[in-house]
Structure 1
Amino acid sequence: MVSGANDSKTPPIVSLTAGGVAGGIEAFTSYPLEFAKTRVQLRSQKGIPTPKNPFLVVTRVYQKEGIRSLYKGCAALVVGSIGKDGVRFLFFDQIKHAFADPQTGTLSPLRNLAAGMTAGVVASITCVTPTERIKTALIDDARNEKRFRSGLHATSVIWKEHGILGLYRGFVGTTLKQASATAFRLGTYNILKDFETTRNIPQNTATNFANGSVAGIVTTLCTQPFDVIKTRSQSAHGMSTAEAVKSVLVDYGIKGFWKGTTMRLGRTVFSGGILFTSYEAAVKIISPLYSGLTHMVVAETLD
């Protein structure tokens, strides 16, 4: 699990499963804010200014395009989040345990960040980049050509037109974002939890949610430029990382790299709390089931 010494024996399968469950819940519940943030970061249509208020973006899309458009790309994000959070919780836990102090079971702040960064790179390679590409392409396509009927159809079209590289468009920006975001999110959360553990602060739902929210704020402010570059790279037609950087500078200047910060901040504070609270709850449910199943298998083997 993501906490300190008491979690050193959490089985990998529990970390993977609990992370996947938490990621799916977090992605679905916070998707409207993710949708609004992505719309703002994509290039504006001429003569149609994009509002900065995320709730106004969501309201306008709902009124003009309907609820289906508002959740365009949601399935891709949920699937990606299940894989992403399962993988990054798994790798973070294993790396964290490998570098933890043998006496206290905790890590230094730098080792916490390093463990999170490594987990983020693995998650980006295995599942995040292609699913983020599909999600972003669907959101961009919904406001323009409307040629993608679903996530599977978008995957098929992109594959036929650009091959495997088309699904990994924006890989550099996504990996930079995932490495830094996972480092700051999991690292900050674990630092806070280790601090609380050493001072006997009770770990409950409210504490988990608060820690996750703080981790979300730190993550957003530190990694927003990577998120903007990733979104531009993964638009419906796609562009290279260099082209994405140039387009942001041309459109908005340096400040453009923090485009959508307010919207993403609202989502990450909310989703960070949900993610870690769901993860802790899932571990508490899955661990006993896993232990019982393991003991049952061992007993049957001995018989």
Structure 2
Amino acid sequence: MSKKENPVHSLIAGTTAGAVEAFITYPTEFVKTRSQFSGGKKESPITIIRDTLRTKGVTGLYSGCSALVVGNALKAGVRFVSYDHFKHLLADAEGKVSPARSLLAGLGAGMMEALFAVTPSETIKTKLIDDAKSPNPRFKGLIDGTSCIVREEGLRGIYRGLFPVMMRQGANSAVRFTTYTTLKQFVQSTAPPGQTLPTSITFGIGAIAGLVTVYTTMPLDVIKTRMQSLTARQQYSNSFHCGYRIFTEEGILRFWAGTTPRLVRLMLSGGIVFTSYENIMRLLGGGQDKKP
């Protein structure tokens, strides 16, 4: 039976990896979110970047960044601790986890991170980005924006879109962890026993896991963004109504709006997070190339 990872080590490594990844890749998240809002003309990623740089400068590409960095750090910590726990529970007598059980463990981890970290941080981030595109933004930053949202909408305001977020995060983690674990086990089976995988290989496997995740979960991401926008309450009664309106009014391809920037982010994210996590775990003495 393989040793269960130290939860404290998983939490430290996960939160650190999540914060680093969020800051490095944030401009792609900003562009993706902007491209998914309803109304107005449809803008390409290049147009969004050019217009934002012209009107807001480089800092404009980091509108809402602090919310995502904090949320992503917490999310990654919850994700890895939860995944370790579920994986340990689902492992067989020899400590091995089948792809189907890895999928289930990832689904559980995604649900946990959506509930405790992702929904509040993503709602605040989305509203900050939506507000920043106006000529006279109301919010002055993370703390001011959060205070205004809670004051005007209550705690429900930062948990808007919980259902699509839980669906997206559950699907994200299930697909991502299963793809990563399956590819990693395959690569390890072709390597000499006991050999630690090079960082470049870990990064590449993580990037592929990110690519697969994007295309399979993009519709849930679009619905999530719409449900967390500033005008969501006036436009949609629930997530299903949101999805129906997108499909009937904008066409099925609209569910893949923002794919390019999200693809860039999740491929980088997959590489950065898994590579950072495994290296930090090795430094802490909590992992010997077993992850995730």
Q: TM-score, normalised by structure 1?
A: 0.87
1:36 deviation in Å?
0.5
Which residue of 2 is the match for residue 223 of structure 1? 217
Q: TM-score, normalised by structure 2?
A: 0.90
Distance 2:274 2:62 in 1: 23
1:87 aligns to 2:81 (yes or no): no
CA distance 1:152–1:74, change in 2 (3 Å): same
1:235 aligns to 2:226 (yes or no): no
1:112 aligns to 2:110 (yes or no): no
Which residue of 2 is the match for residue 136 of structure 1? 126
Distance 1:19 1:151 in 2: 22
Contact 2:4–2:84 under 8 Å retained in 1: no
Which residue of 1 is the match for residue 142 of structure 2? 151
Extract structure 1 runs of 4+ deviating beyond 4 A: none
1:259 deviation in Å?
1.0
- Can you list the C-alpha shifts for 1:224-250, whole angstroms capped at 9, x where unaligned? 000000000011233332342244225
Q: Which has the larger radius of gyration?
A: 1
1:37 deviation in Å?
0.5
Amino acid at match of 2:202: N
Distance 2:209 2:42 in 1: 32
SS at match of 2:138: coil
Amino acid at match of 2:268: F
Distance 2:55 2:152 in 1: 30
Counterpart pick for 2:179 among 188, 198, 206: 188
Q: State the identity %.
A: 42
Which residue of 1 is the match for residue 30 of structure 2? 35
1:194 deviation in Å?
2.0
Amino acid at match of 2:247: L
1:111 deviation in Å?
0.6
Which residue of 2 is the match for residue 60 of structure 1? 51
Contact 1:137–1:237 under 8 Å retained in 2: no
1:173 aligns to 2:164 (yes or no): yes
- Can you list the C-alpha shifts for 1:232-280, whole angstroms capped at 9, x where unaligned? 0011233332342244225421111111112211111111111111111
Counterpart pick for 2:93 among 102, 111, 131: 102
Distance 2:102 2:4 in 1: 18
Aligned runs of 1:68-79 on 2, under 5 Å? 68-79=59-70
Aligned runs of 1:154-303 on 2, under 5 Å? 154-200=145-191, 202-239=196-233, 240-287=238-285
Which residue of 2 is the match for residue 297 of structure 1? none
Counterpart pick for 2:19 among 18, 24, 29: 24
- Can you list the C-alpha shifts for 1:33-54, whole angstroms capped at 9, x where unaligned? 0100000001242xx4401xx3
Amino acid at match of 2:112: V
Distance 1:208 1:274 in 2: 9
Contact 2:35–2:42 under 8 Å retained in 1: no
1:50 aligns to 2:37 (yes or no): no
Distance 1:277 1:147 in 2: 38
SS at match of 1:30: helix
Distance 1:44 1:209 in 2: 38
- Can you list the C-alpha shifts for 1:73-114, whole angstroms capped at 9, x where unaligned? 1000000011101001001011112222332x3311111110
- Can you list the C-alpha shifts for 1:157-192, whole angstroms capped at 9, x where unaligned? 111111111110011111100000011111211121
Contact 1:106–1:194 under 8 Å retained in 2: no
Distance 2:34 2:261 in 1: 10
Q: CA RMSD in A?
A: 1.7
Counterpart pick for 1:123 among 94, 113, 116: 113
Contact 1:114–1:183 under 8 Å retained in 2: yes
CA distance 1:95–1:49, change in 2 (3 Å): closer
Distance 1:84 1:172 in 2: 16
